[in-house]
Amino acid sequence: MHEHYTYKNGNLKTKDKAYVWHPYTQMSDWFRIDAPVIVRGEDFYLIDDRGNRYLDGVASMWCNVWGHSRKEIVDAIVEQAKVLQHSTLFGLCNEPSIVLAELLVKMTKGMGKVFYSDDGSTAMEVAIKMAIQYWYNKLGSNKRREIIALENGYHGDTIGAMSIGYIEHFFKPYKPLLFKVRHVPSPYLYRKSREMSDADYVQYCIDMLEHELKRGEGRVAAVVMESGAQIAGGVIVYPDGYQREVSRLCKRYDTLLVLDEVATGLGRLGSMVEYIAQDSMPDIVAFGKMLTAGYLPLAATLASDEIFNAFLGKYDEGKHLFHGHTFTGNPIACACAVANLRLYEQERLISKVKSSSALLAERLEEFRGYPIVGDVRHKGMLAAIELVKGNSNSNSKSNSKSKDPLLTLSDGRRINYAIMEEALKRGLFIRPLGHIMLIVPPLAIGREELNMLIDKALEVVGTISKLV
Ligand SMILES: *Cc1c(COP(=O)(O)O)cnc(C)c1O
């Protein structure tokens, strides 16, 4: 049905290897890896230059909503590109950025203003600068400058975002550049750092946060965390009530709450705005990834009126927010986001996500039977299957499984490469976090494709379980 794509200008794979440096990639391995060259996207599939089709099991890095080439969104991009591609928000306004800001403020029920940037990392940098300067503007000094964040958090790859979402394994070489942040435990129940019941461990996490807030009273500027779940840190879904308790502590200790909804907001966990579902109003919140349906780079940091008002004053007081990017409020990206958010309404996407999520939950049970599956975590349209060394003794009960991460296979392959290779062979693209297999489908995926995705992922786990 589809024509095969050939290029007269030589082999693209060879040229990729000659010229392109890939993100988070050991490039000496990359030279040996046969990664497809994607030339087209069609619904929930990516199509390579030989006409092979791959189900997009990572939603193209967790941001795709409708699948690829959705007409309404493509049209919005094209129409906007015809009239105004870019001007600037430094001294000028543009229509798409205004329309989008109104939609976002109404959606968040509590935020007052929208500040635009280009990606999740910069949206979080803006959030951090807002939080620090809020106190500076109010107190006339940097007395409140400490930040508390959660272990296993991830907020992006710029210097500030790395400081807050510090992951030793990723960021160790950059440590001298990073500023000091107090990290408290997050409720990773599968890998509790202490032997206690789940409920006691959640309380322990809360208590540790309260301890830090008390210790730093009068000096802490903000608590910063992902909203609803930590994703890059291993898909750690917060237990019910945890985030609400954090937000209460922030109020009690008069500290700002900065929430990162870059990956978890806009439907990924089953709600448009995750903090509303979690009953935990922040002072500042960032959105990114799915804002443009995964088609263009755009992110937004929203602040409450209380935050915004602290930046008002006489010009010479210098209270304004000293931040902005060349493409802040880009009209094409904003028009794309407006079309996207309107489609959420028209297609009642959130209720569709709820029913897809129920199907996903049901089918995820099928993974638990494998000895190498240590834990299965799920919320909304996000799932993680944590692979462990399992049992050498197949008679032992599953609850006595070893929790040692499964890192290499008997054929010598690293687990993350093996997962990707085995999936690609079956027409599925997924990218795990080390030994944690992720399932992050485009939000609007149909039942048929979702079932197919799970079938293929099960085959991958089945194949891998024979190679331990
Ligand atoms: C992806 C991500 C970011 C960073 O977004 P980029 O667009 O990659 O810069 C920030 N926070 C969270 C929670 C993310 O998942």
- Nearest Cα residue to 184 out of 164, 212, 160: 212
Residue 16 CA to ligand 1 centre (angstroms): 25
Task: Give the distance (Å) from ligand 1 centre to CA of residue 263.
Answer: 6
Tell me if 121 is assigned to a ligand binding site: yes
* CATH number, domain with residue 158: 3.40.640.10
Residues 418 and 202: their CA atoms lie apart, in Å, by 34
Identify whether 8 is part of a domain: no
Position 21 in a domain: no
In whole angstroms, what is the distance from residue 202 CA to residue 196 CA?
Answer: 10
Confirm whether 55 is domain-assigned.
Answer: yes
461 within a domain of the structure (yes/no): yes
Region of 341 please: left (phi>0), alpha (psi -120 to 50) or beta: alpha
Burial bucket for residue 180 (CB in 10 Å: 0-12, 13-18, 19+) = exposed
SS3 assignment, position 150? strand
Q: Is 154 in the pocket of ligand 1 (CB under 6 A)?
A: yes
Atom of ligand 1 nearest to the CA of 161: 10
Ligand 1 in contact with 48 (CB < 6 A)?
A: no
- Do 181 and 263 belong to one domain? yes
Q: Which residue's CA lies nearest to atom 12 of ligand 1?
A: 155
Query: Is 157 a known ligand-binding residue?
Result: no
> Do 154 and 121 have their domain in common?
yes
Q: pLDDT per position in the chain (468 positions), as tens?
A: 344 445 544 589 999 999 999 999 999 999 999 999 999 999 999 999 999 999 999 999 999 999 999 999 999 999 999 999 999 999 999 999 999 999 999 999 999 999 999 999 999 999 999 999 999 999 999 999 999 999 999 999 999 999 999 888 889 999 999 999 999 999 999 999 899 999 999 999 999 999 999 999 999 999 999 999 999 999 999 999 999 999 999 999 999 999 999 999 999 999 999 999 999 999 999 999 999 999 999 999 999 999 999 999 999 999 999 999 999 999 999 999 999 999 999 999 999 999 999 999 999 999 999 999 999 999 999 999 999 998 655 544 445 578 999 999 999 999 999 999 999 999 999 999 999 999 999 999 999 999 999 999 999 999 999 999
Is the CB–ligand 1 distance for residue 288 below 6 Å? yes
**Among candidates 402, 410, 409, 362, which has minimal Cα distance to 386?**
402
CB-CB contact of 256 with 89 (8 Å): no
Tokens at residue 298, please?
């755009």
262 lines ligand 1 (CB under 6 A): yes
When divided into structural domains, the chain yields a total of: 2
Buried-state track 430-448, b at ≥16 Cβ within 10 A, e below 16: bbbbbbbbbbbbbbbbeee
- Is there a domain that residue 12 lies in? no
- Residue where a domain terminates, one of 299, 327, 346: 346
Q: Which of 410, 405, 412 is nearest to 388 (CA)?
A: 405
Domain that holds residue 278: 72-346
431 labeled part of a ligand binding site: yes
CB 121 less than 6 A from any atom of ligand 1: yes
Domain endpoint, select from 320, 346, 372? 346
Q: Which of 60, 122, 289, 291 to mutate to test the pocket of ligand 1 (most atoms within 8 A of CB)?
A: 289
Task: Tell me, yes or no, whether 327 and 354 share the same domain.
Answer: no
Domain end among 328, 346, 364:
346
| Residue 263 in contact with ligand 1 by CB distance below 6 A | yes
Dig out the tokens for 381 from the structure.
Answer: 């349209």
Pair (332, 439) in one structural domain = no
